[in-house]
């Protein structure tokens, strides 16, 4: 019997593969409804600090969040994916979240403030 330490059906990756994904924390500085999106979403502008700057994205997070409540909150995002056109909006980062029991997205966020641009370890 093979020693399988993985609890997932996804393949094992090398640590260097993980390091290639640049996940940073930033602060939401603008959040507005995105009524043109196919699924309910919110447009976000996130400040990742002086090294990366401000980046745009949209997120299907309307079940748990309002635009007003997101201002000044920190979120985790992948900052090194290529930009993706979403309707008339160019998404520059991928904000990270997990599905709750009902399938609604709950954002991945630090539970204590960290400097904008901090990398996930």
CATH number at residue 55: 2.40.50.140
Specify if 112 maps to a domain: no
Instruction: Give every CB contact of residue 60 below 8 A, 6+ residues apart in sequence.
Output: 37, 39, 40, 41, 105
- At 7 the pLDDT is 62
Q: pLDDT confidence of 87, banded at 50, 70, 90? A: confident
Place of tokens 């997120």: 59
Instruction: Record the pTM.
Output: 0.89
Q: pLDDT confidence of 30, banded at 50, 70, 90? A: very high
The token pair that represents 99 in the structure block: 């599905």
Residue 2 scores a pLDDT above 60: no
Specify if 1 maps to a domain: no
For the chain, what is the domain count?
1
Specify if 117 maps to a domain: no
């Amino acid at each position: 019997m093979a020693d399988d330490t993985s609890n997932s059906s996804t393949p094992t990756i090398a640590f260097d593969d993980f390091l290639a994904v640049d996940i940073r924390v930033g602060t939401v500085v603008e959040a507005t409804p995105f009524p043109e999106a196919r699924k309910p979403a919110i447009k976000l502008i996130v400040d990742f600090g002086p090294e990366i700057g401000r980046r745009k994205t949209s997120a299907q997070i309307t079940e748990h969040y309002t635009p007003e409540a997101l201002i000044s909150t920190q979120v985790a995002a992948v900052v090194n994916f290529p930009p993706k056109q979403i309707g008339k909006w160019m998404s520059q980062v991928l904000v990270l979240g997990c599905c709750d029991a009902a399938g609604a997205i709950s954002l991945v966020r630090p539970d204590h403030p960290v400097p904008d641009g901090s990398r996930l370890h």
